Amino acid sequence: MALDLETREQLIDTVRRFVTERLRPLEAKVSEDDAIPGEVLAEMRELGLYGLSIPEEYGGLDLSMEDECLVAVELGRTSPAFRSAFGTNVGIGSQGLVMFGTDEQKARYLPGIASGEIITSFALTEPEAGSDSAAVQTRATLDGDAYVLNGTKRYITNANKADLFTVMARTDPSKPGGGGVSAFLVQRDLPGLSVGKPEKKMGQQGAHICDVNFDNVRVPVGNRLGQEGEGFKVAMQVLDRGRLHISAVCVGVAERLIADSVAYAVERKQFGQAISNFQLIQGMIADSKTESLAAKALTMETARKRDAGQSVTMEAAAAKYFASEMVGKVADRAVQIFGGAGYTADHGIERFYRDVRIFRIYEGTSQVQQVVIARETLKRGG
DSSP, collapsed to helix, strand or coil, labels residue 122 as strand
126 belongs to the catalytic site:
no
**Count of other CB atoms within 10 angstroms of residue 77:** 21
Beta-bridged to residue 193, according to DSSP, are 214
- 68, 230, 363, 376: the catalytic one is 363
Contacts of 101 (CB under 8 A, 6+ apart): 109, 110, 185, 225
- Strands 164-170, 146-157: pairing is unpaired
- Strands 120-123, 164-170: pairing is parallel
* Cα–Cα distance for residue pair 353/369, rounded to 1 Å: 22
* Cα–Cα distance for residue pair 3/46, rounded to 1 Å: 19
Burial of residue 173 (CB within 10 Å: 0-12, 13-18, 19+) is exposed
Beta-bridged to residue 123, according to DSSP, are 167
287 phi, psi to nearest 5 deg: -60, -45
Q: Where are the strands (E) in the chain, listed by range?
A: 120-123, 139-143, 146-157, 164-170, 181-187, 193-195, 209-220, 224-225, 269-270, 273-274
**C-beta of residue 229 within 8 angstroms of C-beta of residue 172:** yes
Q: What amino acid positions are annotated as catalytic residues? A: 363
